[in-house]
A = this chain, B = another copy of it.
Amino acid sequence: MLSTAITLLGETGAEGFTMRRLAARLGINPMTLYHHFGDRAQLIAAMADRIHAGVAPPAAGSPLERAEGLLRRYHATILRHPALTLLVLTSPGLFPAQARRITDSLTGLLIAAGLAPQRAGLWLDILVDFTHGAALATAMAAQSGAPEDAGAGRYDQAIAALMASLRAEIG
């Protein structure tokens, strides 16, 4: 059921993804969905949790290397599901559990790397907001039929620049 929803969302894009269309694809009554997921926002959160579930920092490396690796993996994952990312980022108040786990994990790694908790919070926002902004730009470009390359390489260079600043701050 969740996998069908994720597949359909990939086909239709964020715009075309509706409860009624998903029900039709599943061959069930639209209202049955409400019995399983509560409402549309909770369905989106459940899809996001499924997609984010495997994202974890690399096992080896310094805290900063693991933080960077986690961020890159998170970015690669949401780039693979641009329409879902669009829905998650623009659903008011929606913070799916797995996304929270990822940002909590990132905060922990930044603190372990030697940042004061307050600075870790600032850097978390910088890194995550940029990652979301880049993913959003790629998602919108893809939705209007642009070539889908470019995005990933630019993200790599940008993250490298940001991590250099971070390293400089830690000293």
Contacts and interface: CB of A to CB of B under 8 A. Distances in A.
Interface of A: 13-15, 86, 89-90, 92-93, 122, 125-126, 128-134, 136-137, 140, 143-144, 154, 157-158, 161-162, 164-165, 169
A53 B98 CA distance: 40
A46 B92 CA distance: 25
Contact of A165 (B122, B130, B165): B165
Given A129-B137, A134-B133, A157 B122 contact: yes
Contact of A89 (B130, B131, B140): B140
Given A136-B136, A162-B165, A122 B92 contact: no
A75 B89 CA distance: 19
A17 to B, nearest CB: 13
A103 to B, nearest CB: 11
Contacts of A89: 136, 140
A163 to B, nearest CB: 10
Contacts of A157: 122, 126
A134 B130 CA distance: 7
Contacts of A15: 92
Contacts of A143: 92-93
Contact of A126 (B14, B132, B161): B161
A96 to B, nearest CB: 13
17 contacts: A89-B140, A93-B144, A122-B158, A125-B154, A125-B158, A126-B130, A126-B154, A126-B157, A128-B133, A129-B130, A129-B137, A130-B130, A130-B133, A131-B133, A133-B133, A133-B136, A164-B165
